[in-house]
Amino acid sequence: MFGKIKKLVKIPLGQQGEELACQYLSRHGYRVIVKNYRTRQGEIDIIAEEQGTLVFVEVKTRRGHQCGHPFEAVTPAKCRQISKAALQYLAETEREGQSARFDVVAISYTGDAAPVIELAKNAFDVCYGE
């Protein structure tokens, strides 16, 4: 009688950003290996490979810059959490000897304009400690 009703699903901003980041990285020569790698130590948004280097990617997405630029959200505590998860991934996959780095993708939405995507390669070094 009413036909099929399609349910509109709004995708969370962070998830939209991660999908955009995957597309961006793929267009720029990265091969995405894992999305949303989770451990007790924390989560890594994207694990990819670029020219033989394993890349752990943190994605930060913001609407406007009222709370600062997305890069500013990658705090020392966040770097430690990502580092611990990355070390676990390397151990689990027996890739401890492979060259690796940490990149950050910042995605900014402002008004109705297309999102601005920025990539910081080798954004931070592995961080230890509490």
Reported as a single tens digit per residue, the pLDDT across 79-118 is: 999 999 999 999 999 999 899 999 999 999 887 888 999 9
CATH of the domain at 106: 3.40.1350.10
In a domain, 129, yes or no: no
- Using an 8 Å Cβ cutoff, are 33 and 47 in contact? yes
In a domain, 51, yes or no: yes
Displacement of CA 122 from its chain's centroid (Å)? 13
In a domain, 3, yes or no: no
pTM of the entire structure? 0.87
Report the SS3 class of residue 16. helix
Rounded Cα distance between 97 and 91, Å, is 10
Side-chain-side CA neighbours of residue 8 (13 Å): 1
In a domain, 6, yes or no: no
Give the helix ranges, DSSP H, for 32-73: none
pLDDT of residue 4: 59
In a domain, 54, yes or no: yes
In a domain, 62, yes or no: yes
Query: Is the dihedral angle over the CA atoms 99, 34, 43, 28 positive or is it negative?
Result: positive
Q: How far is CA 58 from CA 36, 51, 95, 97, 108, in A?
A: 10, 19, 20, 22, 14
How many structural domains is the chain composed of?
A: 1
In a domain, 7, yes or no: no
Reported as a single tens digit per residue, the pLDDT across 41-81 is: 889 999 999 999 999 999 999 887 677 888 999 999 999 99
In a domain, 47, yes or no: yes
- Give the confidence band of 6 by pLDDT, cuts at 50, 70, 90: low
Q: Structural domain of residue 101, as residue ranges? A: 13-124
